[in-house]
Amino acid sequence: MSGYELVERIWARDASAWTGGDEAQWLGWLDEPARMRERVDDLLAFAQLAADEFDSFVLLGMGGSSLAPEVLRRSFDAESLHVCDTTHPAAVARLAERLDLERTLFIAASKSGTTLETRSHLDLFSERVGGNGPSLAAITDPGSELETRGREQGFRAVFAGEPSIGGRYSALSPFGLVPAALMGVDVHRLLDRVDEMRSACRGTEGNPGLELGLALGEGWRDGRDKVVINPNPGGFGLWAEQLLAESTGKEGKGLVPAPDEEPDGRDRQAAEVRIPDPYELGQEFFRWEFATAVAGSILGINPFDQPNVQEAKDRTSAILERGDEIALEPEGSVEELLAGASEGDYVAILAFIDPVRERELDPLLSRARETGCVVTKGLGPRYLHSTGQLHKGGPNSGIFIQVVDDPGDEVAIPGAPFGFRQLIAAQAAGDYEALAERGRRVARIRLEEL
């Protein structure tokens, strides 16, 4: 299929551009910037009223509901917005303690409305504000449990998502633009730039999304499946790695995103992020979304599903239902795993630790790079909603090192038979089990032993 024909099929919502399955049902992201044009004034009016009443905004979300807001927050240096996407009890407790709860608006973001982490965060902070609905808001798809709760509890606002968009393609929907408005971003200006990219991605000459997508896909065909994303102040790689990994990592295939790694190597290709100004971020979101759709066609997969994400979730639920104390003991040998690394492998550091201790992983990262392999790093449970699909459904070229710390005192989750300490332990144990059962090379080590 020529590039011209592929562009035509994508914009025609033709599922034969990929596998001929249900892809056409998930292409709402193509038109979402235009739909959001009609909603911008309402978003800005909401943000202005909220800014008059609140000093801080906390986005409660995971994966596609949190990564775009996090990149927006970093890109625009927005100190008023906090993104809560960890279940580590020390981190959750620290956030709760630093906030002036009477001057904080909590926004729960979940397309399904049932995301375990987000529901737990909402239960906690809802109790902390005394169930005060005007201190809460939600972004969720129509008909979800979260929408129902928001109406019943009297949330300040409930913003409807677009059901024809998957989470990782939702950056330019309310999931990205409501937080952007709360940060004080000029959303009209942001969408002006997106419109330019959207128009460019319709063409066959100089089509930025097509060019990037063809490069990604052809690189994969040539054995260069590690996509090195250049460093940038906003941490764009955090968002892009979910887009690439969850979209392409299936059926034993996949592009392995490697933010900030060196691009030199026979299994690597460089993919440049172009954000000379924060207002170019919206353009880049759309360019990478279109490119990933193009690359998915070349890989011959459905880039809009995530068939293996549920595995770790199901195991987590089963462990929590048993109600037992979860002991995360070291397992396997990190040194043996790294000694067995070969060309074409990648090393993934999967760290269920307090995010403020992330720099303590540096010695392990350095040791892993001595193998000559690409090294990636993900904080749990964030990565479960990002690269987790690739780890289980992609090529068996990953070497996985799970790192755990002492999570400290328990932080209760109102109404739940478990707290955040037990939850994060169950998530770590569940993902380890899922990787091991699939025959992946995996070991566990304590952060204190690095």
Rounded-to-integer distance, Cα 212 and Cα 203, Å: 14
For the chain, list the domains and their CATH numbers: 3-14+203-276+285-299 (no CATH), 32-185 (3.40.50.10490), 309-449 (3.40.50.10490)
Q: What is the DSSP letter of 418?
A: S
Q: What is the mean pLDDT of residues 265-284?
A: 96
Entry pTM:
0.97
pLDDT of 4:
84
Closest CA to 150 of 164, 166, 131, 170: 131
pLDDT at 2: 86
Please write the tens of the pLDDT for every residue from 331-379. Answer: 999 999 999 999 999 999 999 999 999 999 999 999 999 999 999 999 9
| Res 1: pLDDT | 76
pLDDT score of 148: 98
The pLDDT score that the predictor gives to residue 308 is 87
Residue pair 96/267 in contact (Cβ under 8 Å)? The answer is no
d(CA 404, CA 379): 10
| Mean predicted confidence (pLDDT) in 273-280 | 96
| Measured distance CA(257)–CA(125) in Å, rounded | 34
Choose between 289 and 314: higher pLDDT: 289
Q: Do residues 385 and 64 lie in contact, with contact meaning Cβ atoms separated by under 8 Å?
A: yes
Mean of per-residue pLDDT scores for the chain: 97
pLDDT tens, 406-445? 999 999 999 999 999 999 999 999 999 999 999 999 999 9
